[in-house]
Chain A
Amino acid sequence: MTLQADYTTSQLDVLEAEAIHIMREVAAEFERPCLLFSGGKDSIVMLRIAEKAFWPAPIPFPLMHVDTGHNFDEVIEFRDRRAAELGARLVVASVQASIDAGRVVEETGRRASRNRLQTTTLLDAIEEHGFDAVFGGARRDEEKARAKERVFSFRDDFGQWDPKNQRPELWNLYNAKIRKGEHIRVFPLSNWTELDIWDYIRREGIEIPSIYYAHKRRVFERDGMLLADSPVVQRGEDEPVFEAVVRYRTVGDMTCTGAVQSTAATVEEIIAEIAATRITERGATRADDRASEAAMEDRKREGYF
């Protein structure tokens, strides 16, 4: 904490204190919380907050990752290593397993993606493990449907979000009441912006997967985005592969996460780049949000992250 004579606190301290408060509320009021940990920067920050909230005790809930099988190797390696360092239990819910079990059907064609299939895998895992609260790293600045979502976001028996019937949220009082089979998605980073996340990563000296930094990669261009050349991404003959120096602003499925051309090799350089950018991270790098004006709202209604 950076203390000053008039008891002001920096914006990162205020955001951190709020997120810690939210995490402790969940640990106190729910029986089986879990924290969604993808190895992406937001969930990495969320994990650090969880460490802080319960220190010196270990984090009192497991981590869960919905693995599409199309993730970047560097991120999966990071995920496993980080969970092991913390001694945390990591639940991996596999989209491939959902496909094999006939719960979902793989999309085909050039734009095939497992993005939408994740919802079924996620909801099945929540039910299987009996999770009643699920921490997500989503932020309200990311997307306009998320700008209206509560910190404690109620999900019914079917995992659905009803944006028109949300519980009012006042002061720092969160309503944790649910019936069996329902759950709450909890977003401790609701009030953080992309820049706050990076400022915090810098301040805390938090390690992040290497793909966030500039590196050489074989890519091809589609819809103005650079997608990784990989066996899991369907590429057409008219989409030539070339090598470029790129980094990722968001980390998701290889099939729908684009890289940006960048030479930013340090956190400081990334912060400078983001401060100057004029395009949102999801607009720049996420095909999944481009489907329609309400792409995110529609997926969230179904139970997406």
Chain B
Amino acid sequence: MDILRFATAGSVDDGKSTLIGRLLFDSKAIFEDQLEAVERTSRDRGTEYTDLSLLTDGLRAEREQGITIDVAYRYFATPKRKFIIADTPGHIQYTRNMVTGASTADLAIILIDARKGVLEQSRRHAFLTTLLRVPHLVLAVNKMDLVDYSEERFNEIHEEFTAFASKLNAPDLTFIPISALHGDNVVSRSENMPWYQGSSLLHHLENVHIASDRNLVDVRFPVQYVIRPQKATDPAFHDYRGYAGQVAGGVLKPGDEVVHLPSGLTTRISSIDTYDGPVAEAFPPMSVTLRLEDDIDISRGDMICRPNNQPAVAQELEAMVCWMADGVKLAPRSKFIIKHTTRTARALVRDLHYRLDVNTLHRDETAQNLGLNEIGRVSLRVTQPLFVDDYARNRLTGGFILVDEATNGTVGAGMIVEARGR
């Protein structure tokens, strides 16, 4: 059994909470005491139906205001897969939350109300999903019961969205007509839409192929921590020196020739260690410890890769940045702490090329700064070289965060484009 992480974007109006509630309920991930609490609260508020959004809206402020503020993580499993849902609010003022939820997602579900069709917010959700390189996108055309389960209406939305998505370089795209309220095509195929020949939503989630979404080609091992047992639990490890980290790309094997960055020195992997014994190969997302044949001065923030396939060694970065802070803004000359893989440095904003309107995709080249929830293309200069790939090629070596030096808050999320070495 593997894990599928998926993000859902939308508001209560789209039926998103109803959909999640149904997935959880039908997979028995909602427990009786949780359901009773929701039913009790719904009754107390005078709501006629059981408001399943109360399950996901966990904070007092959210329940009081009846809105989703933050990313909520929910869990369920079927015999085939374990699922982690990043449930994100869909309104434009919560763009940063959607970006956060999408950053680790294998798949995103965008809900469209069949009566309303493709709205501005559907386009925004699709854009953010592709910007964050979520490999699989599902357009769930909801409330089909309210359009008489019309194939014609479904096809209209299908065509309209496909035309838009072609501009986005959208990944694997799947359209499913559903009624979250009545359960049509959610867990099992609906008898109300015999014209639909595809999978139910749950069947799709259970079977979509995600193993090849990881980058298994470019070996990238950011060194996270050096393990040198001073008082080893076993005297045999007295001279032990291992480089611990989580594989960010490629497949590593003992005997492989590797190069260390920034030194450029080459050596071979002598062993890939884990607590449970050495392993024959390591690949994402494994956390392992490498031992190397030669003594090289290696520390946290360094990178191990293959000699013939190296990341760009860059101090000048081009990136799309989503701004996440409401106090401080991003503007030319501002300075931040940058965290990229296991390396932390300082970054100076050299230029803001444009601000992107996330609804129309219009580029405003006169923009002076980026404020909360705004996205733009920036140039950064970093105080020490980073070992980077295009975000489109590897999300783990192409993504970074910016931290404000004054408040220590995480203020920006960046995705590297056009990674180039010196």
B165 within 8 A of A: no
CB contacts (< 8 Å) of A193 on chain B: these are 75, 77, 82
Q: Mark B7-31, 1 if CB is under 8 A from A, else 0.
A: 0000000000000000000001001
B166 within 8 A of A: no
Q: How far is the CA of A168 from the CA of B321 in the complex (A)?
A: 14
B3 within 8 A of A: yes
Contacting pair B287 A56 (CB below 8 A):
no
Asked whether A6 and B212 contact (CB < 8 A) given A170-B401, A278-B32, A283-B34, the answer is: yes
A contact residues, total (Cβ < 8 Å): 66
* Interface residue from A172, A190, A297 paired with B59 (Cβ < 8 Å): A297
CB contacts (< 8 Å) of A107 on chain B: these are none
B281 within 8 A of A: yes
CB contacts (< 8 Å) of B229 on chain A: these are 56-58
Q: Which residue of A lies closest to B71 (CB)?
A: A148
The stretch among A17-25, A38-46, A254-262, A264-272 that forms the contact with chain B is: A17-25
A110 within 8 A of B: no
Contacting pair A51 B246 (CB below 8 A):
no
Contacting pair A294 B409 (CB below 8 A):
no
A178 to chain B, nearest CB (A): 6
A33 to chain B, nearest CB (A): 13
* Interface residue from B73, B99, B285, B287 paired with A140 (Cβ < 8 Å): B73
Contacting pair B2 A7 (CB below 8 A):
no
Contacting pair A57 B230 (CB below 8 A):
yes
* Interface residue from B58, B231, B240 paired with A297 (Cβ < 8 Å): B58
Contacting pair B59 A164 (CB below 8 A):
yes
* Interface residue from A3, A166, A191, A280 paired with B70 (Cβ < 8 Å): A166
Asked whether A17 and B73 contact (CB < 8 A) given A1-B274, A168-B413, A175-B403, the answer is: no
Q: Mark B71-111, 1 if CB is under 8 A from A, else 0.
A: 11111010001101000000000001101100110000000
A142 to chain B, nearest CB (A): 10
Contacting pair B56 A147 (CB below 8 A):
yes
Using C-beta atoms within 8 Å of the partner chain, give the interface range for chain B. Answer: 35 or more
Q: Which residue of A lies closest to B82 (CB)?
A: A11
* Interface residue from B60, B211, B275, B413 paired with A55 (Cβ < 8 Å): B275
B232 within 8 A of A: yes
Q: Which residue of B lies closest to A87 (CB)?
A: B233
Residues of A at the B interface (CB closer than 8 Å) are 1, 3, 6-11, 13-18, 20-21, 24-25, 27-28, 51-58, 87, 140-141, 143-148, 163-164, 166-173, 175, 177-179, 190-191, 193, 195-196, 277-280, 283-284, 293-294, 297-298
**Given A148-B70, A284-B33, 9 other A-B residues pairs in contact with their CB atoms under 8 A:** A6-B212, A18-B287, A24-B225, A24-B245, A52-B275, A57-B228, A57-B229, A140-B75, A278-B28
Query: Which 7 interchain pairs have the tightest Cβ spacing?
Result: A144-B58, A283-B33, A57-B229, A52-B275, A20-B287, A177-B408, A170-B103
